[in-house]
Structure 1
Amino acid sequence: MKRLLLWSLVLCTTGVFAQNFQGKAYYQSKTTMDFDSWGPRGRELSTEQKKRIAERMKSFLEKVYILDFNQSASIYKEEDKIDAPGRGGGGFGSAMMGSFSPGPQYKDLKEGVLIESKEFFGKKFLIKDSLQKLEWKMEGETKQIGKYLCFKATALKKVDDLDFSAMRPRRNNNDKEKTAEEKKQDSIKAANDPFSQIDIPKEILVTAWYTLDIPINQGPGEFWGLPGLILEVSAYRTTILCSKIVMNPGEKETIEAPDKGDVVTRKEYNDIVMKKMQEMREMYRGRGRGRGRG
């Protein structure tokens, strides 16, 4: 009887906790650059040149995100920065980088949907799709992240067509066999169409570390589906690591789906971005031909 009463008390307490609790987790996201994968040009860069390029890209490669969550929903967004580059304009390059970087992402586990807010060339979009469910494999390994004991899980994840963090230079294994003229034509093609030199893998291995101390199946970005909050994720050259957790903060954020913008699917949004990229390439080629005639 005592055991029955104890379990009833535990279940009741857990139910109340699940209904009322809210948390805030801070994540540091870092994407590294592999200059050697750029081929001969990358390998010929000096240490100082690599350092300068990495510093210029730092605002896109290193970010801080905040995940506000409850038992069934969450919103994941970049920490506000007064001097954040690429906001309020900045030309084609900034708009393109913004299309690769995640905007505020809302996950509703009950409804099974992910809604992401994006702005591209001054137009607002709401990308709405079903949550991608990963087939997690429990690895049996543990490690400590801060004060939390974490468990390891891995999964294969399909890569989005515009996932900047997964892009890598296309390897041309037969470059040594090409003539000088063929190499020249390749250089012209790369200048006119930079994306012709980029590969995006169909899927990548994701490694996650989650804690049972916070028993919700939430995580940063689009990651979810484990029996505890995901505190660390590694996918290709990007690592997202939780640096701070605040349970039941004094000032709670409203966790609700963004509602401003044209509603599109991920595929429709990618098609819009790719079409704009094609327009810009054609414009660039036209200007190049004009300068050549002059």
Structure 2
Amino acid sequence: MGDSGGTGDSGAAGRPDALLGPADIRELAAALGVRPTKQRGQNFVIDANTVRRIVRTAGVRSDDTVVEVGPGLGSLTLALLEAAEQVVAVEIDDVLAAALPGTILDRMPERAPRFSLVHSDAMLVDELPGPPPTALVANLPYNVAVPVLLHMLDRFPSIERTLVMVQAEVADRLAADPGNKVYGVPSVKANWYADVKRAGSIGRNVFWPAPNVDSGLVSLVRREPPKTTATKREVFAVVDAAFAQRRKTLRAALAGWAGSPVLAERALVAAGISPQARGEALTVEEFARIAEAKPAGVTA
């Protein structure tokens, strides 16, 4: 990659660049005995311009507390530390978690006090050290991207802005509008928490090893959930049922949820939704209306 700002060995005034370049990543991995595998979703970003672009696109501010999931060897972590007040990284891998604080101290010692590490599975995290996080910025492992994203948005309502790098196909699903052929469960559930949009594409050659798929950036800006008397759990139960059998009408798809096709139709009519409609046509607000109209005895 052509790079005037970061992947070389020197920066301003001849000082070593704090960010990690391709040689740095390979040296770190070799020293740690880390062999990235596609099965584990380990694709390390080796281009400093890319991580700075991610931070810029995320709109990270100097007063932000940013949570990062899956920091790996620290490429994005260092770029976040350049911009944010605090960075909290959540890493499940024992070797990577043990090494990351040393990498931060070595390459950015003046910022090291602003860094915290949580060695855990992100799906199990329900509290973080320091101030409540205001932003989530992460290169998410592709096989767990959606559940991790939804978990973090749910557990940490203080997160106002999110920018995640995910597989391009997942990015398209998350940002899809009703009526789009890839609109589905991730689209609806993400929209419960935030306004979601595609925020760019990332080429394969900025990773080591290069993945078999393209990557995309997704921006999520927190908004109030739909006004409804139904709980989130009740709404999500309708969403899951509606998309479990995509080709069926809602009358048929929601029969199990409601207890019978007749009860499903009754709930749909009460919600002002055509029983012949399909889930991919409905907004999150419309799913909430259906949840409100659930027949007596239906539990989410």
TM-score norm. by structure 2 comes to 0.22
The structure that has the greater radius of gyration is 1
* Between structures 1 and 2, the one with greater helix share: 2
Structure with more contact order per residue of length (Cα contacts < 8 Å, sep ≥ 6) = 1
TM-score norm. by structure 1 comes to 0.22
* Between structures 1 and 2, the one with greater strand share: 1
